[in-house]
Amino acid sequence: MDELFSDADDPMGALRWTLAELRRKTGLAEAFRGNPVSHGLGPDTAVDVAELSRGVLETEIPEGHFLEGIDVKGSPGFESWLLVERQRVDSEVLSALRQAALRALSARQSARAVELSRAMVARAPFEEGPHILLVKALASSGDVDAALRQADVSEAMFAAELGTRPTAALRAAARPAVAAPVPGVSARASAQSLCEAGLAALSAGAADAGIECLRGASAAAELSGDKELLSRCLTELGAALVHSIRGYDDEGSIILAAAVDLASAAGAEPVAAKALSELAYVDILAGRRASAAGYLETARGLATGDPSLDAAIAGFEAMNLSDWGKLEAGADQFAAAVELSRSAGAVRREAWNLGLGARSLFLLGRVDEAGEWARQSCELARRERWTAFRPWPEAWLAHARLSDGERPGVVREQAEATFALARQLQDPCWEGLAAKTIGLTHLLEGNADTALEWMKNAGILCSRVTDSYAWVQVEILLAEASAALESGDTVRADAVARQAVAGAARGSMDDLLDRAMGLLASLPTVRS
């Protein structure tokens, strides 16, 4: 009540009048009663925000924003609540539109996919993902010229408004999803051999060659008429696009959604489960928590005792829980995922679960355990020659060493090596996290200005592609705001902390949101 009626002469009277008006406007005489007040809407009343939070979007495309036009003056608590809720609801609307667009593309309902994608672009014009889906939807309708024209329009808008160019994934979305198969070989044999060759190339680090082989495998599988084979090839292709090339999460998601439908129709439940788990992973990175949880729940129900798949699903569930701010539950699930990985003999999956779990343990204050998990992850990654993953556990090992009181200068030597490796890999998230780690070493030495420069650089590096890991982006913003506060730049600290609040609210990252709101509350009032 204080949030809304703090300036009223009779706050209780104002509340009673407001509730009466709500009953009159809705025509629900028994609603909004009790102490505490309960909405009492009943099962026959649909609430659009609640429906969208479950990813439900049937036919009508939502317009406007949450409580649009409402501006309550003199209620700082309500203003803060509304800021967070608008970001959260906008994110859920975009997530529901995205899921509906993927379903439409998978069902070859091109006109509906175009309509939904256009609505996404209108809501989030400066996010590349909606533009990619729109180009893909136009291409899927058979109008490649329209798809290319849209790519031109999107590129021009990004250049004019943001001064940047979108990634190559935007224009690539106008091309066919798969390449032509190899002539002179049976379609089925061609699909199987190309799929094996593609996976081998990916394992060897040759991402481009591997993906082209998988495109050819998918095209050959489609010609063979074998739905299960096609679903397997598409699942591997979609997963490769998601994990191997920056900027291609949206194309990968389109392909994975098609794989789920094909696998379900063919009765290939393990294939559907794997494709669903990869769709969940994309949503976890982007901060679409409810959508990711839904995919994972369905995937777990379809998995049929494959230990490696069980380990992957458990790890993704743990990651989603941890990013959501449910740290204890996430840590417990990571422990289960590590054991499943070991039982399956899936060494890279074990390294991944240990590395991501180390972050969760560190945030819980279990620093010694976090350091041990990070060390084990680093050792396994080196043993497997999995260079592409090493910067993540190395960064969290550095965090643990700093928390244990090691001299920042000593830790910085390894952190700089990690940063150099991340730069060589050209992985924006790893670069940003390593740069943030270096910044922390300077901050602990009392060099706040130098630390702030590293934190700023970390944010720039991490956000240079559109499918960066949302949790890392917000974590870096919080580190930058803290460094700005240490250096005495309260204006920058306030501005960056507000960005962190918005990002955490969009991505349902409750732990980061609490930290961002706490940081804002600690700042003096900033006047423009």
What is the mean pLDDT of each successive set of 10 residues along the chain, which is 528 residues long? 62 76 77 76 67 59 77 70 83 89 90 94 91 93 92 93 86 70 74 93 87 92 93 96 86 94 95 97 95 96 91 97 97 98 96 98 98 98 94 98 97 97 92 97 95 95 83 97 94 95 94 94 69
Measured from the Cβ of residue 6, the count of other Cβ atoms closer than 10 Å reads: 13
- Is the N-terminal amide bond of 36 cis, ω within 30° of 0? yes
Measured from the Cβ of residue 152, the count of other Cβ atoms closer than 10 Å reads: 12
- The residue type of 272 is A
Tokens of 374: 């990070």
Tell which phi-psi region holds residue 34, choosing left (phi > 0), alpha (psi between -120 and 50) or beta.
Answer: left
Residues ≥6 apart with Cβ < 8 Å to 2:
11, 77
How far apart are the two ends of the chain, measured CA to CA in Å? 30
Please state, in angstroms and rounded to a whole number, the distance separating the CA atoms of residues 471 and 330: 14
Residue 159, CA distances (Å) to 124, 156, 165, 513 in order: 16, 5, 6, 31
pLDDT at residue 51 in the model: 60
Please state, in angstroms and rounded to a whole number, the distance separating the CA atoms of residues 262 and 98: 20
Please state, in angstroms and rounded to a whole number, the distance separating the CA atoms of residues 156 and 165: 8
Tokens of 287: 């901060």
pLDDT at residue 454 in the model: 97
Please state, in angstroms and rounded to a whole number, the distance separating the CA atoms of residues 41 and 26: 10
pTM across the whole model: 0.86
The length of the chain is 528
pLDDT at residue 185 in the model: 64
Closest to 253 measured CA to CA, from 392, 114, 389, 137: 137
Please state, in angstroms and rounded to a whole number, the distance separating the CA atoms of residues 251 and 139: 12
Residue with tokens 């084979």: 229
pLDDT at residue 49 in the model: 63
pLDDT at residue 527 in the model: 45
- The residue type of 53 is S
Please state, in angstroms and rounded to a whole number, the distance separating the CA atoms of residues 358 and 509: 18
pLDDT at residue 528 in the model: 43
DSSP-assigned states of every residue in 112-135: HHHHHHHHHHHH-TT-HHHHHHHH
Name the CATH code of domain 407-528 (choices 3.30.230.10, 1.20.120.420, 1.25.40.10, 3.20.20.300).
Answer: 1.25.40.10
What does the DSSP 8-state code read for residue 178?
Answer: S
Return the domain boundaries, the chain.
1-48, 407-528
Please state, in angstroms and rounded to a whole number, the distance separating the CA atoms of residues 182 and 186: 9
